[in-house]
Chains A and B, each alone.
Chain A
Amino acid sequence: SQQGEEDPQALSIQEGENATMNCSYKTSINNLQWYRQNSGRGLVHLILIRSNEREKHSGRLRVTLDTSKKSSSLLITASRAADTASYFCATARLIQGAQKLVFGQGTRLTINP
């Protein structure tokens, strides 16, 4: 079963606007990660936030984590056409030396020029 529930499933905005995607999960986690997938390609890691962190920034990306609500959000500021992709949250649990990721269904983001 998919642990992460992402919202919205699809988002279409104009270039230059900000895009916000949300993720909810059900169980305890070690960290939460966001990945991007361009059409027909593999996933690319964007950012990781640990369970004891509340906010993290990386370039135009801002991630928040609320463990009491079991939710996270990804904000992309000043969007560009190249940001068009699917975005997935993944909750991580460290088990026996490996990191098991459980992915959400993703948000399909379209940036219109």
Chain B
Amino acid sequence: NAGVTQTPKFQVLKTGQSMTLQCAQDMNHNSMYWYRQDPGMGLRLIYYSASEGTTDKGEVPNGYNVSRLNKREFSLRLESAAPSQTSVYFCASSDQRTPPYEQYFGPGTRLTVT
């Protein structure tokens, strides 16, 4: 039982390049989330998916797109990377059908845009 996995662990992009961050969970959770964490800050919600087939914007969605590929997988795409998107990206999942509704986090992807 791996929990929440993310790939890649590290990535360096040049301004204007695109990439997709992958996330998968094996806990049969219905909800999945993408966050970014800037140095010395808490996490900010980028996008979330309440269930398979639905996605919604979070607090900071500009410059990102997401795809809920199936119940297990939720990807985050940067179409044209900018230096302001340098951050650590975390994926999380939760089962909103059963308390305590805690979110389980992946290990993160450290992205640098030059």
- Which secondary structure dominates where chain B touches chain A? loop
Q: Which residues of B contact A42 (CB under 8 A)?
A: 4, 90, 105-108
Within 8 A of B (CB), among A58-113: 88, 90, 92, 94, 96-106
Interface size on B, residues (CB 8 A): 31
Q: Which residues of A contact B65 (CB under 8 A)?
A: none
- Which secondary structure dominates where chain A touches chain B? strand
Which residue of chain A has its CB nearest to the CB of B99?
A48
A99 x B96 contact (CB < 8 A):
yes
What are 22 pairs between A and B in contact, CB < 8 Å? A2-B41, A2-B42, A33-B102, A41-B108, A42-B4, A42-B90, A43-B43, A44-B105, A45-B102, A48-B100, A48-B101, A90-B42, A94-B96, A96-B56, A97-B50, A98-B94, A99-B31, A99-B96, A101-B103, A102-B59, A105-B41, A106-B42
